[in-house]
Structure 1
């Protein structure tokens, strides 16, 4: 049996305040919350007149069904339901299931919609991270603490959230190959030891693989050997020290784990097509004097870099 949620239809203005929100065609938030469903419960088949975005912060045995398709929510993920889609949920039979949700109207015309909100868009988008999870929690916090500001502040955050989900969906494809966890750990170990000698055997032991399997995985996923990756990371660190410090080339060679200055210089030139001395002379700027070399291990972008928008 199909059930329709009893949400009132929007008025002639779409429920949107005049001014900036209307001009930007921001979404209008209808209903939202952060619920924990008991194990073994269900949400019966229904059809809603608006859009709904949900986030399940933990993988569970819950199942989302929309039309004739069924999705296992066994990974942290977003679920998107569009107007008119008949859908239902079966929650994990063994443990409670938490999910955050937001119902919203859109004022944009169909051809202005984000691809992820189009009728043929994806229903489930895997995501494990804090940023978008925090956005959903912040929108709920605004609804509780400052409900008078929900349509102003909350709608802006919701538009940002939907834009990021759209980007996630665009990047997600069956051909997309994720790094094995052991390989991700190996890269983390390399990043965290920029100044220490590190052999392939030591790296393999730390991730629980044989050196041979580690080498094959590096070549397959990264297009270089573990040794080449270690050397590249050391040279990248040396470049930072050349630009942001006053150490001599010899001191930098020792700092990044090379026992021989001449060997370091040969490796540096092979990697950068320029000597370390010439690199410093070409790229050093006095404005870098107050910057310190940074470890970018956990960053999605390089530190000590200015980014420019398009105009």
Structure 2
């Protein structure tokens, strides 16, 4: 086995294979890791340590070293699958970012708008053309795919999000429409017809955070749009998005964003942001017209 690189996965092989209907890849173990992508659901069965998984939706299968497994490919039609064999020190050492891949389910349904299929296809494209530095590019793409897969494995089943109760959807819209007001969770819950306790429980299960945290996030997103506009002071913005005073807003913003609100405003004085228009975006999880500081390297 090749020596492990300390920073990146080492890709051993990649492939895009169409298997004849009914083929059985008999029980085996492998020395490295394997990530397999099935673009469509079939009646293919993946059996791991005696436990069968029917791959009836688009999915990823993650197999770890020395795990006994087999594939019984669907009998109705040929089955296409893309795969990567690799080793990765971060997995060998149970890196916390990837822990769900080591102890969670081996089969992961493809989530809506997942980046991973595109990353795997790009790996196949690069491997086929073998341009300059192609091996390091494969490693970088695979590292990104594994982090995405590990993060998505920790999320609740996507079906639950797709079936979000209309009361929760309406509550989110109500928050957005009344951000500047003295808005309480009790008041929001009344709009749904549910008790405070029931509303909080269903909201958290559907959205992945408490109503209180969701309200704060919406207020900070609105504040960031106003800060990018550059026409208001921190005090004015604090009141406009529903904070009782400037100090509370500044303290909350610093705690959750890791940067002072005044520093954020200063960063947004860059001419590129002078033409930004405020936008109500309910489609993307991060919100439109938003500049996100990742590492605050300026002291």
* Shift in alpha-carbon separation, 1:286–1:69, aligned structure 2, 3 A: closer
- Aligned ranges 1:21-60 → 2 under 5 Å: 24=6, 26-60=8-42
Consecutive unaligned residues in structure 2, runs of 5 or more: 178-191, 233-238, 251-259
Whole-Å separation in 2 of the counterparts to 1:189 and 1:283: 27
Report the count of equivalent residues. Answer: 256
Distance 1:130 1:166 in 2: 12
Partner of residue 150, structure 2:
166
The 3-state SS of whatever aligns with 2:62 is strand
Find the partner of 2:109 among 121, 126, 130. Answer: 126
CA distance in 1, matches of 2:104, 2:76: 31
Q: 1-side partners of 2:136 and 2:231: how far apart?
A: 52
In 2: Cα distance, 1:299 partner to 1:164 partner:
17
In structure 2, C-alpha distance between the alignment counterparts of 1:177 and 1:238, rounded to whole Å:
29
| TM-score (structure 1 length as normaliser) | 0.59
For the pair 1:305 / 2:289, whether they are aligned, the reply is no
Q: Aligned-residue CA RMSD in angstroms? A: 5.0
TM-score by length of 2: 0.61
**Are the structure 2 counterparts of residues 217 and 64 from structure 1 closer, same or farther at C-alpha, using a change threshold of 3 Å?**
farther
Q: How does 1:270-281 map to 2 (within 5 A)?
A: 271-274=242-245
Paired position in structure 1 for 2:227: 243
Between 238-247 and 39-48, report the one with greater CA deviation. Answer: 238-247
> 1:145: Cα distance to partner?
0.8
Shift of 1:143: 0.7
Native 8 Å contact 1:55 1:100 kept in 2: yes
Question: Structure 1, residues 17-60: CA drift from partner, whole Å, max 9, x if none?
Answer: xxxxx652533322211223344443333332322111223333
Give unmatched runs, 5+ long, in structure 1.
Answer: 1-9, 17-21, 196-210, 249-264
1:135-171: CA deviations, max 9, x gaps?
11111111101167443221222233223323333x1
How far apart are 1:111 and its partner, in Å? 3.2
Task: Select 2:59's aligned residue among 61, 64, 77.
Answer: 77
Q: Report the Cα distance in structure 2 between the residues aligned to 1:96 and 1:217, rounded to whole angstroms.
A: 48
Distance 1:81 1:242, change over 3 A: closer
The separation in 2 between residues aligned to 1:180 and 1:164, in whole angstroms, is 18
Q: 1:307 to 1:91 in 2, by over 3 A?
A: same
